[in-house]
Amino acid sequence: MIAVAIFFIILGILIKYGKLYFLMAGYNTMSKEEKAKVDVDGIATVFRNAMFGMAFIMIIGYFAATWFENSEIETIAFYGALIVGIPYLLIRSNSKKYKIDK
C-alpha cells in the first residue's frame, strides 16, 4: 500500500515538475494545434493534486489499519481513493477550465 502511495506521489511530481506530459492520456496523440488549445500546466497541476490526494488517503488508511489492527481499513482506503480520485481526475482535467479559446 505504501509503495503504491509513493508511486502516485512520484508520478504526480514527474507529471507536474518533470513535464512528462506524455503520461497524460490523450495528450501525446494531439496535434500541435490541439495542444496549443489546452492549458497543459493547469492539467498537470490537477494530476499532481489528484495523485497526492489519493496517496494521502492510502497512507492514512495504512496507518489507521495498523493502529486499529484491522487490514480491511487499508483495503477500503485504497479502493476509496481510487473510486474518488480517478473520476475527479477525469472530470476535472476534461473541464472547459483548461481549454484555451483562440
Name the pLDDT band for 102 (thresholds 50, 70, 90): low
In the chain, what are the domain boundaries? 2-18+37-96
Note the pLDDT of residue 39.
92
**How far is it, in rounded angstroms, from Cα 68 to Cα 32?**
52
- Give the global pTM: 0.89
- List pLDDT tens digits, range 1-47: 899 999 999 999 999 999 898 888 788 888 888 888 999 999 999 99
Q: Is the pLDDT of residue 81 over 90?
A: yes
Contact (Cβ atoms closer than 8 angstroms) between residue 9 and residue 2: no
